[in-house]
């Protein structure tokens, strides 16, 4: 088996986006068993075996090296492992799946315009309330890295796997770090992004695993895949 394992999202918005994009590039994805199948192929690219995963699993599989290349966003790569970003090469941005990882605070925090303000609030909060300021997020690694880089040490992360934007209202946390594409959800929940509060701008990428086992056949297959996608993106469907 020297096939190149190519992990693509199995369902949802990302699945249809990648299917449409690859079809437009002349690289139609074949999934013989339908939406429940977990294996597939691309007729135009022999030597490549498609594996369907849920979107968040793809980054993890890339970090572990159980697949060679996959469609995933930078945000999930960072969360798959603390050293995730060094295990995966983001080769080709695909022009969809745009999302920003941002800090969002309640609108009513009229004293906070910047990240520096947030650092002060964290210190003051601990002195005033005797506990840490809480940040609800599923982006634990990104949050820790960004906060550390900005000198914010006095906080605790509350892991949140869904409806993070509701955490300040429910009292589960004082602020959040979450993904947003239009900002509408944040606004609807009375939250705003302070100046400098964008942690990461992410989009779907062709991402290559460093940890996977590579041989010449797989390298050649990878080169054909990247060539076909980059040529296609460059000439016709640049979004």
Partner 1 sequence: MSADARRAALKQLVDETAGWRAAPAILQPADLYFDLAGEAIGARLLLTSGEDGTEYCLRPEFTLAVAAEYLTSELAGTGQAIGYLGPVFRQRQGGPAEFEQAGLEFLGPVAGDPFDRSLAFAFAAAKIYGVDTPELHLGAVDLFEALLAGLDMPDMWRPRIRARFGHKEALAQLLDRLAAPETTELADRYPAERGKLIAVIASEMEQAGLSPISGREAAEIADRHLEKRALAAARVPEATVQILRLYLGIAGEARAQLSRLEKLAVDASVDLAALVADTGLDLREPIARLASRINAIAAHFKPGIIRFDAAFSPPLDYYTGHVFELVAPKTKAIIASGGRYDRLLERLGSAKPIPAVGCAVWLDRLEEAGS
Determine contact, residues 40/113, Cβ cutoff 8 Å. no
Q: Return the residue of 9, 70, 97, 168 that touches partner 1, per CB under 8 A.
A: 168
Residue 96 found at the interface with partner 1 (CB under 8 A): no
Cα 89 vs. chain centroid, distance in angstroms? 14
Q: Return the residue of 28, 151, 182, 217 that touches partner 1, per CB under 8 A.
A: 151
For the window 32-71, what string marks contact with partner 1 as x by the rule CB under 8 A? ----------------------------------------
Shortest CB 137 distance to partner 1, Å:
11
Shortest CB 152 distance to partner 1, Å:
8
* Cα gap 205→221, rounded to integer Å: 17
Q: Return the residue of 47, 90, 120, 214 that touches partner 1, per CB under 8 A.
A: 120
Residue 163 found at the interface with partner 1 (CB under 8 A): no
CA 65-70-74 angle, to 5 degrees, is 95
DSSP 2-51: -PEEEEEE-SHHHHHHHHHHHHHTT--EE-TTGGG--EEEETTSTTEEEE
Determine contact, residues 55/203, Cβ cutoff 8 Å. no
**Token pair of 56, please?**
């968040």
Shortest CB 158 distance to partner 1, Å:
11
DSSP designation for 109: -
* Cα gap 195→112, rounded to integer Å: 9
DSSP 110-141: TT--BHHHHHHHHHHHHHHHSS-EEEEES-HH
Strand-pair category, 69-73 with 4-9: parallel
Q: Return the residue of 1, 32, 34, 111 that touches partner 1, per CB under 8 A.
A: 111
For the window 171-210, what string marks contact with partner 1 as x by the rule CB under 8 A? x-xx--------------xxx-------------------
Q: Return the residue of 44, 89, 116, 193 that touches partner 1, per CB under 8 A.
A: 116
Q: Return the residue of 108, 163, 220, 239 that touches partner 1, per CB under 8 A.
A: 108
Determine contact, residues 207/90, Cβ cutoff 8 Å. yes
Q: Return the residue of 52, 139, 146, 147 that touches partner 1, per CB under 8 A.
A: 147
Q: Return the residue of 89, 90, 119, 193 that touches partner 1, per CB under 8 A.
A: 119
Query: Which residues bind to partner 1, rule: CB under 8 A?
Result: 82-83, 106-111, 113-114, 116-117, 119-121, 123-128, 132, 144, 147-148, 150-157, 168-171, 173-174, 189-191
């Amino acid at each position: 088996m020297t096939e190149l394992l190519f992990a693509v999202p199995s369902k949802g918005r990302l699945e249809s986006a990648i299917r449409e994009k690859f079809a437009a590039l002349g690289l139609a994805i074949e999934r013989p068993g339908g939406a429940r199948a977990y294996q597939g192929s691309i007729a135009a690219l022999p030597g490549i075996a498609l594996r369907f995963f849920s979107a968040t699993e793809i980054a993890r599989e890339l970090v572990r090296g159980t697949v060679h290349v996959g469609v995933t966003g930078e945000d999930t790569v960072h969360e798959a492992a603390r050293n995730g970003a060094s295990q995966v090469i983001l080769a080709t941005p695909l022009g969809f799946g745009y999302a920003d990882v941002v800090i969002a605070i309640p609108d009513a925090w009229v004293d906070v315009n910047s990240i520096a303000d947030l650092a002060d609030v964290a210190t003051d909060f601990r002195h005033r309330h005797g506990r840490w300021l809480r940040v609800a997020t599923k982006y634990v690694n990104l949050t820790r890295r960004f906060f550390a880089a900005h000198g914010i040490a006095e906080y605790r992360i509350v892991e949140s796997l869904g409806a993070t934007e509701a955490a300040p209202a429910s009292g589960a946390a004082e602020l959040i770090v979450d993904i947003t594409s239009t900002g509408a959800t944040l606004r609807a929940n009375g939250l705003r992004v302070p100046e400098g509060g964008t942690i990461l701008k992410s989009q779907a990428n062709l991402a290559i695993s460093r940890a996977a086992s590579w041989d010449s056949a797989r390298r050649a297959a990878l080169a054909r895949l990247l060539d076909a996608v980059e040529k296609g993106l460059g000439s016709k469907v640049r979004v």
